[in-house]
Structures are given as C-alpha cells and as structure tokens.
A and B are shown apart, each in its own frame.
Chain A
Amino acid sequence: MKTMTIQLRTGTMMNMDCNVAIKLTDAALDKGYDVRIFGYGEGVWLIKAGQEPKRFPNVGEEAKKLVETGKVEVTVCNTCTTARGFRRGEEIQGMKIGSLTNDLSRFVAESDRMVTIAR
C-alpha cells in the first residue's frame, strides 16, 4: 500500500493549514493509503494535548481519531518542542515527540509521496 507523508510546518491557530493536513489525511485513508505526518517548527502544536479552540476546528482531536485507525502515524520534532517549552508528556496519546533524523528520515524513506504544508 502506498504511503503519503505530510510535513506540517504551520501552527494550529495561525490559519487553516493544519485543517488542510487533516482533510488530506482523511481523504487519503478513504482511498486506502497510509499517512505519516511530521510536525516541524510551529507544526509541533498539532499534537499538544488539551487544545480548546473557540472558533477553529480542534485539529488535535481530529488527528487523534485518524491515528486511532492504525493507518496514520504522527510525530513532531523534539528540538522544536523543547524550544517552545512543550514538554514530553504534554502530547496527545498515540502521537510522538520524535526527531528529524530518526523519524522524518524514516517517513521519507518509506513514503511514495511527500507533501509540505508551510508558509
């Protein structure tokens, strides 16, 4: 089965980029593809637990549902989380604070297509 990797570099409350990542993932799953999402820079906020946006979609909750299918893996950059005071244990269950060198490189190696969502 083919795999799509999405490199997400935009934060959750900046615009609709995270929502685009979620919708693309959802559609890719519907069509039978596996998906990997790697959050880099502001993109790490996708996996922060306890998000309660008043007007924006709750992309953390939506990403959690996608991960629970077992066909989506979400990992973010640990250097980026540390720089933002986002500590281990604060991530949504089922998602991971990982690394560019171990995780993004593996995602790229295992993927058929890579999509970058960035500003």
Chain B
Amino acid sequence: MQSKLFLLFKSPHEFTGLDLIEKMSGGSKRGVILFEDAAYYAIDPNKGKKLLEAGKEVFVMKDDLAARGFAGKAMAGFKEIDYHEAVDLIMERFDQTITL
C-alpha cells in the first residue's frame, strides 16, 4: 500500500476533516505537513493532539510558525521543518501527496 503525505493549509478552525486522514490512509504509512494557517495546529493543545493521533508523523513549516509569532513554539510531537526538508518528504519519503 502506498504511503501518503497529507498537506494541510487551512487553520484548525476552518478545516474539520481530520478523520479523512485515517480513512484515506487505510492503515498505510502516513504523515502530514502543515503550511500557512494550518501551522496553528502545532500550538493548539486540543486540535493538535487530535492531529497527532490521526497523522502519526506531523511536520510544520518553520517559516509559517515564525510568521505567526510562534517560532520554536511547536508542541512536543510536531517537527519543525524547512522547505528543503519538505521536498525530501514529498519526493523521497512518501509515495503520494494529498491536499486536504
């Protein structure tokens, strides 16, 4: 089964489809990258915890956290990455990307 990397762009208050991550993964390896307002998951204890349960490996763009005043403030379990690391995840570590 192909591994899947989910890309989220919307804030936790705008996007309510976290269950799709588990349903679309079907038990395969999965990960999530948080871009733009989705970075707020990384500082929201309730919604962040739900995302970590659904996404397993969750990465957040450093630039987007910093732009929102939360540089280095991602909660435990969220890995802060740069664009080069995002490209590695997309091109080498996962088979497929899905934008939600």
- Interface residues in chain A, defined as those with a beta carbon under 8 Å from any beta carbon in chain B: 2, 4, 15-17, 20, 23-24, 26-28, 30-31, 33, 112-119
Chain B, 18-56, CB within 8 A of any chain A CB = 35-36
Q: Collect the chain A residues with CB atoms within 8 Å of residue B84's CB.
A: 27, 30-31
Q: Collect the chain A residues with CB atoms within 8 Å of residue B83's CB.
A: 23-24, 26-27
Whether B97 lies near A20 (C-beta < 8 A) is: no
Q: Chain A's interface: helix, strand, loop or mixed, by majority?
A: mixed
- Interface residues in chain B, defined as those with a beta carbon under 8 Å from any beta carbon in chain A: 7, 9-10, 35-36, 63, 82-84, 86-88, 90-91, 96-97, 99
Between A and B, 27 residue pairs with Cβ closer than 8 Å are A4-B91, A17-B9, A17-B36, A20-B9, A24-B83, A24-B90, A26-B83, A27-B82, A27-B83, A27-B84, A27-B87, A28-B91, A31-B87, A33-B87, A112-B91, A113-B90, A113-B91, A113-B97, A114-B97, A115-B7, A115-B97, A115-B99, A116-B97, A117-B7, A117-B99, A119-B9, A119-B10
Q: Collect the chain B residues with CB atoms within 8 Å of residue A114's CB.
A: 97
Whether B35 lies near A20 (C-beta < 8 A) is: yes
Using CB atoms, name the residue of chain A closest to B85: A27
Q: Collect the chain A residues with CB atoms within 8 Å of residue B91's CB.
A: 2, 4, 28, 31, 33, 112-113
Bound form: Cα–Cα A113–B90 in Å:
7
Whether B9 lies near A24 (C-beta < 8 A) is: no
Q: Collect the chain A residues with CB atoms within 8 Å of residue B97's CB.
A: 113-116
